[in-house]
């Protein structure tokens, strides 16, 4: 299967600072990547769809000015949490989709645990 | 639009016993179905998928699932579980024309020695 990496795996920051999370497709090119947020004991919540070379598409209720997404190359998408606050603490997971047969499969990164103090 | 229901939030089972994790879906279009596993503090790992063809799908770690169109189900099974199978399992569905999957709320599989 396709391999997706994320960096960092864990980050602790002070309230008011910005944090950048990287998502890379290691052995394939991904024109589209996705960013999810997961709260404890809950399912994944899609935040946005990241498109290479164009603006990201944000889900309803997600602040695009707070969660900046850049997809500058076919193997890298970044999520920047700007002016982070404690309520932004969460587990952030990215994924990339691969066309397989008649459909598509999403392959996920290992996730980034963000703790804002 | 699609929706996924995982009726069991938690499934406790003894080691070496069989297990079935249930997943039902609804969709107005042809579907693609997935099971993912998540170990603590990790991302999601693809266990298996149904895109087309045989309705019985075999995945990694000895898991298999069967697509039942008439019952709109995609239950996950394993004949004999190990302690290491303890994890959260997510069922997901996507549909032709909208490949972004919808996830169920997850089922926590707890394997006891």
Chain A window 11-50: which residues touch B at a Cβ cutoff of 8 Å? 34, 42-44, 46, 49
- β partners of residue A57: A49
Q: Give the C-alpha separation, B53 to A32, whole Å.
A: 26
Q: Give the C-alpha separation, B110 to B113, whole Å.
A: 10
| Per-residue confidence (pLDDT) for residue B5, from 0 to 100 | 95
Q: Give the C-alpha separation, A65 to A53, whole Å.
A: 18
Average pLDDT over residues B19-48: 92
Average pLDDT over residues B68-91: 96
| Per-residue confidence (pLDDT) for residue A40, from 0 to 100 | 83
pLDDT digits (tens, 9 = 90+) for A102-116: 778 889 999 999 999
pLDDT digits (tens, 9 = 90+) for A16-50: 999 999 999 998 888 899 999 998 888 889 999 99
Q: Give the C-alpha separation, B88 to A73, whole Å.
A: 32
Query: How many beta-carbon pairs below 8 A join chains A and B?
Result: 57
pLDDT band at A101 (very low <50, low <70, confident <90, very high): confident
pLDDT band at B95 (very low <50, low <70, confident <90, very high): confident
Chain A window 90-109: which residues touch B at a Cβ cutoff of 8 Å? 91, 93, 95, 97, 100-109
Average pLDDT over residues B32-52: 92
Q: Give the C-alpha separation, A111 to A104, whole Å.
A: 21
Contact at CB, A106 and B106, closer than 8 angstroms: no
Write the secondary structure of chain A as one string of H (helix), E (strand) and C (coil): CCCEEEECCEEEECCCCCEEEEEEECCCCCCEEEEEEECCCCCEEEEEEEECCCCCEECCCCCCCCEEEEEEECCEEEEEECCCCHHHCEEEEEEEEEEECCEEEEEECCCEEEEEC
| Per-residue confidence (pLDDT) for residue A1, from 0 to 100 | 67
pLDDT band at A2 (very low <50, low <70, confident <90, very high): confident
Average pLDDT over residues B54-77: 95
Query: What residues of B are in contact with residue A104 (Cβ under 8 Å)?
Result: 32, 94, 99
User: Which residue of A42, A103, A110 is the best one to mutate when testing the B interface, meaning the one whose CB has the most B CBs within 10 A?
Assistant: A103
pLDDT band at B41 (very low <50, low <70, confident <90, very high): confident
Residue A16: closest CA among A67, A64, A82: A82
Average pLDDT, chain A: 92
Is A53 or B58 the better-scoring residue by pLDDT? B58
Residue A93 CB-density burial (10 A; 0-12 exposed, 13-18 middle, 19+ buried): buried
pLDDT band at B35 (very low <50, low <70, confident <90, very high): very high
Q: Give the C-alpha separation, B94 to B71, whole Å.
A: 17
pLDDT at A3 over 70: yes
pLDDT digits (tens, 9 = 90+) for A41-76: 888 899 999 988 889 999 999 999 999 999 989 999
Is A80 or A102 the better-scoring residue by pLDDT? A80
| Per-residue confidence (pLDDT) for residue B58, from 0 to 100 | 96
């Amino acid at each position: 299967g396709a391999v997706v990496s994320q960096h960092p795996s864990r980050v602790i920051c002070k309230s008011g600072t910005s944090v950048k999370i990287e998502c890379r497709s290691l052995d394939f090119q991904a024109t589209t990547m996705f960013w999810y947020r997961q709260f404890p004991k809950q399912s994944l919540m899609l935040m946005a769809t990241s498109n290479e070379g164009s603006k990201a598409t944000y889900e309803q209720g997600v602040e695009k000015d707070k969660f900046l997404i850049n997809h500058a190359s076919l193997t890298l998408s970044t999520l920047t949490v700007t002016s982070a606050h404690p309520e932004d603490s969460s587990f952030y997971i990215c994924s990339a989709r691969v066309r397989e047969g008649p459909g598509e499969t999403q392959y996920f990164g290992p996730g980034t645990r963000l703790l804002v103090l | 639009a699609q929706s996924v229901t995982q009726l069991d939030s938690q499934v406790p089972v003894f080691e070496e016993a069989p297990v079935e994790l249930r997943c039902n879906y609804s969709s107005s279009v042809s579907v693609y179905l997935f099971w993912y596993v998540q170990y603590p503090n990790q991302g999601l790992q693809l266990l298996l998928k149904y895109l087309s063809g045989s309705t019985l799908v075999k995945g990694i770690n000895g898991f298999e699932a069967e697509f039942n169109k008439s019952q709109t189900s995609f239950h996950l099974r394993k004949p004999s579980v190990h302690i290491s199978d303890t994890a959260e399992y997510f069922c997901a569905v996507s549909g032709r024309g909208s490949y972004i999957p919808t996830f169920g709320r997850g089922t926590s599989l707890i394997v006891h020695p």
